[in-house]
Chains A and B, each alone.
Chain A
Amino acid sequence: MTTIPEPVTRAARGMADRALSWLHANRHLGGLPPGTTETMADPDSVYKPLGETTLAASLILRDGVAGPGRLAAAQSLMDFTWEQFRRGDMIYERQLRHTLMTDPLEMYAPFVRCGYRHEALDRLLVHRSRMRSVSSVEVLPNRRLAVANAARVVGLDQAEDLNALAGATWLGARPEPWAINWITAYAMTHTVFHLTDWGGNPAGLPPELADYVRTWLPVWIDIWREVGQWDLVTELLVVGASIEDPYCRAEDWEAVAALQHEDGLVPRDSDPVDDDPQRRFTDHQHTVVVAAVAGSIALARAAGQR
């Protein structure tokens, strides 16, 4: 029986709704510059954030716990980002040009989850998934999980043993919880995201790892709250909402909800927020995405979906 305290669902509702509104209202600040091709100099500047916005919208649609207006906004965001990628052509061209790159597959997965498909890309991905060269690229275990989960969502045959991959991550070692650092914490959150398919399959996290996460999450949230690392704290809220026996403490959720600006922005850290709209978008878009995802997953768990 999943239990999410009522104050958490109230905070989660506000976080998710307002974050989605902000992403939708500011979507044009995250559009690809004119003339962007599949070979971009800085994929992290706009291309990756577009994928993150797509992910948030896709999970809100998957979870279906937002109101009708919000679901329409999420659908509109998906349409926007799909158009940005020239209805999938750009993702296809990037995968065609860079066989070993995994980001096109990861970028495509949220679209597939919501029924968007690109026929040539589908065929290319099937071809690619049969290549030993592709499966032998040397990547970090938590990144390998990201690719494996994206492949699963897209419907590709794959030979990856997710439990074996989980065991190779930092989290899989159930290491000293006091020896975590900022970047490793992000690696840990993503291990949970991919194994649980972003909270959609809590049982995907092996029980011993779920126990470990539940044991130490209070410590990690505490220390990163203290130093105002709100982006990471919000990712940790996603983790807590995604495990089999959720860890959702009202005080933590209310702390993040209280930080959210009226327009939906959630600051990434405790530094002052710039007034310039583009700067605001660039600096805080990721945290707003995470807030939308956190809220949606918690609401879905509270609604007893899984």
Chain B
Amino acid sequence: MSSHSAFAEAADALAVSVLGALDGTGGAVQLARYADDAPDTLAALAAVRVLGADVFSPHLLAGHPFPAQDTAVVAKAFDAFPASDAPEEAAVALRDHATAALLARISGDDALGGLAPVPADDAAPDDTADWSAWSVRMAQLAPLATLGLDGPVHEAARRGALSLSRGVSRSILRRDFPTAVRLVRWLAWLRYDGAELPLDPDVAAEHVWLVGGAGPRAALDLAMARHFLELPPGTAPKEAARP
């Protein structure tokens, strides 16, 4: 019997697996084997949906293969937990669409992009005047801060470097470290993209890690941030898939 806690445990376990693949301490993720071996298949599929675009990280960042059977698992996860098209869940819709777009691109099967509807034109949070609420919404979209994606959310991030930096500062001061690490991930992506930042994301990332501790999913956000921070600033390719 799957439960919310079983889903959370499965998401943590998958995050650990992705982390291991990213930093070389574990083997390839092998989503198909992960789903087959899981004691609770539904929880395993839920974990795939929770991690969203991050399940592709070992492929996008470390060059691991993403075989057809793994593509099938992601598609199956969308079957089990259909993409959201509820207007009040804009962040979920954007994350779902990004996952489906990457899946289509990596698999070469454009039809898979249809697993999630295209979000409304105004779905990307763009009101940086209210930097505090805006940065919280951007934290929910941290999985989009990855290689191979570019779109309205990324454009908003480029316009909102100051707001994201304020959001990092605010969340650290409030000891809201899960939000802090997601926003640090955006700052790291922005630096890789070539943005000038009003604070040093390297120091902030290390501080959040040392002071805040982290579960596997926060550790995954941090690993993504560190990956971007290790790349020379401003070296992001200018062409990427629009989610």
A-side residues, CB < 8 A to B, are 176-180, 215-216, 218-219, 222-223, 226
Contact = CB atoms under 8 A, between A and B. Distances in A.
Contacts of A223: 170, 173-174
Contacts of A180: 173
A215 B168 contact: no
A219 B166 contact: yes
Interface in B137-170: 162, 166, 168-170
B109 interface: no
Given A177-B199, A178-B207, A179-B207, A219 B162 contact: no
Label chain A's interface by main secondary structure.
helix
B120 to A, nearest CB: 29
Interface in B171-197: 172-174
27 contacts: A176-B199, A176-B200, A176-B204, A176-B207, A177-B199, A178-B169, A178-B170, A178-B172, A178-B173, A178-B199, A178-B207, A179-B172, A179-B207, A215-B162, A215-B166, A215-B198, A216-B169, A218-B131, A219-B166, A219-B170, A219-B173, A222-B132, A222-B170, A223-B170, A223-B173, A223-B174, A226-B174
B179 to A, nearest CB: 12
B198 A178 contact: no
A177 B169 contact: yes
A194 B132 CA distance: 30
B166 A216 contact: yes
B159 to A, nearest CB: 16
A207 to B, nearest CB: 15
A215 B165 CA distance: 10
A249 B168 CA distance: 21
A223 B176 CA distance: 12
B178 to A, nearest CB: 15
B203 interface: yes
Nearest to B172: A178
Contacts of B203: 176
Interface residues of B, number: 16
A178 B204 contact: yes
Closest 3 CB pairs of A and B: A178-B172, A178-B169, A219-B169
Q: Which of A177, A179, A180, A216 has the most CB of B within 10 A?
A: A177
Given A179-B207, A215-B198, 14 more contacts: A176-B203, A176-B207, A177-B169, A178-B168, A178-B172, A178-B204, A179-B172, A216-B169, A218-B131, A219-B166, A219-B170, A222-B170, A223-B173, A226-B174
B163 to A, nearest CB: 9
Nearest to A227: B174
Contacts of A219: 166, 169-170, 173
A281 to B, nearest CB: 32
Contacts, number: 35
B186 to A, nearest CB: 15
A185 to B, nearest CB: 10
Nearest to A215: B198
Q: Which of A176, A178, A180, A216 has the most CB of B within 10 A?
A: A178
Contacts of B173: 178, 180, 219, 223
A60 B162 CA distance: 35
A176 B206 CA distance: 13
A178 B162 CA distance: 14
B199 A218 contact: no
Nearest to B203: A176
A278 to B, nearest CB: 35
A177 B207 CA distance: 13
Contacts of A222: 132, 170
B162 to A, nearest CB: 7
A227 to B, nearest CB: 9
Interface in B196-218: 198-200, 203-204, 207
A177 B131 CA distance: 16
Nearest to A212: B198
Contacts of A176: 199-200, 203-204, 207
Contacts of A226: 174
Q: Which of B169, B198, B203 has the most CB of A within 10 A?
A: B169
Nearest to B174: A223
A289 B191 CA distance: 44
Nearest to A181: B173
Contacts of B199: 176-178
Contacts of B207: 176, 178-179
A180 B132 CA distance: 18
A296 B198 CA distance: 32
A219 B204 CA distance: 15
Contacts of A178: 168-170, 172-173, 199, 204, 207
Nearest to A177: B169
A216 B131 CA distance: 12
Contacts of B204: 176, 178
